[in-house]
Structure 1
């Protein structure tokens, strides 16, 4: 089969949109025939809607001949010709479509269901990789363009910021329609019959308006697996979906274990808030934390395990030789083994009036979402570790200037050498060693910071409009109560650091590495006492813990 279509041959207004860095590849005739094995060929007619904005689980289409337009809110944003395939990442994850596709010039398509597309991705490594890479890039294109959800609210509202962060952490395309500055806001509110007091409002694909939804409500509408975890017994429950937790899910499911995975916010953990990870094996050009998480989620789903987000663990208890974890939506999971991968959260600065600015100008992540909110203003970053360095390099390419505020006298103390070199060489990064913030200036938004050199006591004012905080972390272990042994800083003790008791004497063994004081309960990643705070080590622990889970389950069967 030969596919040829010159833009000059198309009628005015139907010229095909160029590819964007591999996001819109063209299949050749042989590849189209391979796809057709999973679906059917059929003709198209002019003005036919292949799928509409808001449709979930719509079919997958490859254009054999003709032209298809993609529309957002009625406006044409892309034109596709022969060889192109439609859809984006949400099709594989059960999320609603962010565009409407309409046949502009009739021809022929290959059509297959979302389930058959999943079979294609699993069964054909070449085509599957092509589709996955294109879909990941298309999601990035949508996010960068500000497509998808419209979050209508004031930038000074804590709920507006909560919804923006939830969308960003879950890599959902979105944009803020600011009721304080955006002229479109009033018209949108009027259209949906919403008063300013009912904001923020989320306009989801398909046109439904959600009045100040909770994270879980929004997750359910968007198909983010926000359903209650199953109540029946499972082999392995993984609480926390950072790199370590996701690795445990993928390896556990691949080994045939019955696995349940949950996270209180989004897949990715702290790595998911990182703009670029450059020292992770196998990615010489680096990879963003959100993309790494997205790929891992797709792998988990490939093995039949969705990651339930916006479900937070609140209780833990032993029962009948197994364990029960309770969640904030009143559901419970009974499990034969448990992996604690809840990670840690960045600490807050002990500064007066910090809470006044956290809804608008203080950030604990550095992704494209936060960069967009800075609006080309200089920023300050507090911290001397890799997260702070990665944020500095990422933001310095998008804002006029970055002030990196470091309490210690040596940047090499907690930051990788390659990152120190990049920070020091960047012309828009100023490194302030032996320096601490002593005062925040401004009314509703930060308008400047007063910093002090902790050696000379000299003070100066930094003219910044945003503050990024990466200053160490507090482990997320409150839900474990006093049943799991913690160290003096609240991190989970494992392996040789666990004091054995009668439970272990009856079992006839000592705790495995990564195992807590409770048989069959393991801890990995940042939440574990003594862990190495690196993505690679977390993933390694996630793989290792699955082997130990097998050992625990088989040992229990023998005894």
Structure 2
């Protein structure tokens, strides 16, 4: 049997063995079960479990893609265990497991697995590391998970692929005419132009042009949430600040639900390399940092729902209620942490929406970088995220034209990035420059960009097909209007004494200072008791990953203080 490349290079970590004394300690977390030869222990897209440790016999683990294609990954023998990140997330498994001969296993539920990981630190470390490496193998092989079929240059295809990649979901892309299976599927479902892409799920189900919400429900990233449950904290936003809050709060025994509109990691996940984050001297990608934080949160039992945008925060009731976008469901919580960051800012260009996902992008992941090979691209923006993206894209594109409106990058970018950009020969910095026109076709996407030099009043056309926009963001606070959370003149949330002062001004609406809860002023608390704000959405915050993580950790003690003063309920 030939193991996948990831398993060959790191087999001891990807396929660890549980020693008999360790298995004995694990017994209190699970129950034994016996399967006969050929029995299916778990099925891709359908089955859920936490962990299966082989006591005797073997389990055959196979990829399965919903089209009926199957391929061997490995065989787990005595002392080895079946499972990967789906099991820690309580999502449907992505692979098939069959019994080879009579098999006895120790079965743990997801809840029991999380309890084991906390109680048995050394053993838990080995299990989590194996889970991560196995998910990496599934991502690299692209032979399981949903299958996406669409003609080239379909913007919806790019959006779905981007969402899947951002959330660490393995998937495969097929051209409708690439295989007999793909052709037969297209003939059967006869998709019209608005039906692309077709998506085949691991359980064999097929949907035409599904929404991201539908993907989330099918793949387990958007679980059913109980409206009757009262959470200790609902965190709105899964960027570095929100993930830090989730990890620290859950590790200290609080029940935590995290909601995010798109993916865990926020805007930081778009950073190709973060080099000034403490403890990573060689740098770490935003996606890798976010992925590790996500795994930590699941280890401590955080519930996460993606995509799950919050529509309204209702503060005139206790517990507080968060109303979900697109439904009437309201989730109840004793406290809310607003960590929703900001919305990508879009320039005022007449036909911008026409080319989004078909030439215009707001982040630079490996998916977008693969589209730039050997081509010239334009990148707009002068902040650190723009600098990191420019350097990253320069390794793939023939030339990166970097456009800024200022005279230089000195006031907006870290020195190390400025020096790196200056030392990269295929990055060309254009100052006093801005895009004034986009041109192309509906089928082919973007073809041409007109750029104006404001200093000289001249314009120039560039024959480029990829434009990356990193021009900042606006605070994502519109959904807080019904709650009366105080914001500054730019829309950022004020906290601490600033919130008290602003909320107490004559004429301010929704004065919640009459609340029955007596408490000292908390530095990260908003004008509404029990509602906290951290990270980029907070007025006066330092817009850096490390600062966001620090605020995410610091707010947990303030949540504890608030919860301790809540009136006792019977």
Is residue 2:461 matched to residue 1:474?
no
Q: 2:88 touches 2:298 (CA, 8 Å); kept in 1?
A: no
1:471 shift after superposition: 0.5
1:357 shift after superposition: 0.6
Is residue 2:128 matched to residue 1:132?
yes
1:542 shift after superposition: 1.2
Q: 2:53 touches 2:106 (CA, 8 Å); kept in 1?
A: yes
1:557 shift after superposition: 4.5
Identify the residue that residue 113 of structure 1 maps to in structure 2: 108
Identify the residue that residue 15 of structure 1 maps to in structure 2: 2
Distance 2:313 2:267 in 1: 23
1:408 shift after superposition: 2.1
Identify the residue that residue 462 of structure 2 maps to in structure 1: 462
Identify the residue that residue 413 of structure 1 maps to in structure 2: 411
Distance 2:190 2:126 in 1: 43
Identify the residue that residue 60 of structure 1 maps to in structure 2: 52
Q: 2:440 touches 2:448 (CA, 8 Å); kept in 1?
A: yes
**Given the superposition, is the C-alpha separation of residues 130 and 505 from structure 1 closer, same or farther in structure 2, using an over 3 Å criterion?**
same
Q: 1:177 touches 1:184 (CA, 8 Å); kept in 2?
A: no
Identify the residue that residue 288 of structure 1 maps to in structure 2: 285
What do the CA deviations read for 1:224-279 (whole angstroms, capped 9, x no partner)?
A: 14323533433322222211112222222223333332222222221233333232
TM-score normalised by the chain length of structure 1? 0.85
Is residue 2:250 matched to residue 1:250?
no
1:458 shift after superposition: 4.4
Distance 1:380 1:77 in 2: 43
Is residue 2:495 matched to residue 1:494?
yes
Distance 1:209 1:373 in 2: 27
Q: 1:494 touches 1:514 (CA, 8 Å); kept in 2?
A: yes
Structure 1 residue runs of 5 or longer lacking an equivalent are 1-13
Q: 1:35 touches 1:110 (CA, 8 Å); kept in 2?
A: no
Structure 2 residue runs of 5 or longer lacking an equivalent are 505-510
Q: 2:34 touches 2:104 (CA, 8 Å); kept in 1?
A: yes
Distance 2:207 2:199 in 1: 5
In the TM superposition, 1:535-550 aligns within 5 A as: 535-550=545-560
**Given the superposition, is the C-alpha separation of residues 71 and 518 from structure 1 closer, same or farther in structure 2, using an over 3 Å criterion?**
closer
Identify the residue that residue 379 of structure 2 maps to in structure 1: 381
1:42 shift after superposition: 9.6
Q: 1:347 touches 1:473 (CA, 8 Å); kept in 2?
A: yes
Distance 1:200 1:170 in 2: 19
**Given the superposition, is the C-alpha separation of residues 132 and 101 from structure 1 closer, same or farther in structure 2, using an over 3 Å criterion?**
same
**Given the superposition, is the C-alpha separation of residues 374 and 332 from structure 1 closer, same or farther in structure 2, using an over 3 Å criterion?**
same
Distance 2:269 2:149 in 1: 25
**Given the superposition, is the C-alpha separation of residues 336 and 186 from structure 1 closer, same or farther in structure 2, using an over 3 Å criterion?**
closer
Distance 2:25 2:564 in 1: 42
1:298 shift after superposition: 2.8
Identify the residue that residue 76 of structure 1 maps to in structure 2: 71
Identify the residue that residue 123 of structure 1 maps to in structure 2: 119
Distance 2:45 2:232 in 1: 36
Most deviating of 303-312 and 342-351: 303-312
In the TM superposition, 1:267-282 aligns within 5 A as: 267-282=264-279
Is residue 2:338 matched to residue 1:340?
yes
1:31 shift after superposition: 4.1
Identify the residue that residue 38 of structure 1 maps to in structure 2: 26
Q: 2:33 touches 2:107 (CA, 8 Å); kept in 1?
A: no
Identify the residue that residue 260 of structure 2 maps to in structure 1: 263
Distance 1:534 1:475 in 2: 15
1:344 shift after superposition: 0.3
Equivalenced residues, count = 543
Equivalent of 1:319 in 316, 322, 328:
316
In the TM superposition, 1:379-458 aligns within 5 A as: 379-444=377-442, 445-458=445-458
Most deviating of 127-136 and 106-115: 106-115
Q: 1:56 touches 1:94 (CA, 8 Å); kept in 2?
A: no
SS at match of 1:411: coil
What do the CA deviations read for 1:108-151 (whole angstroms, capped 9, x no partner)?
A: 88654354544443333233223323332333343344342212
Identify the residue that residue 303 of structure 1 maps to in structure 2: 300
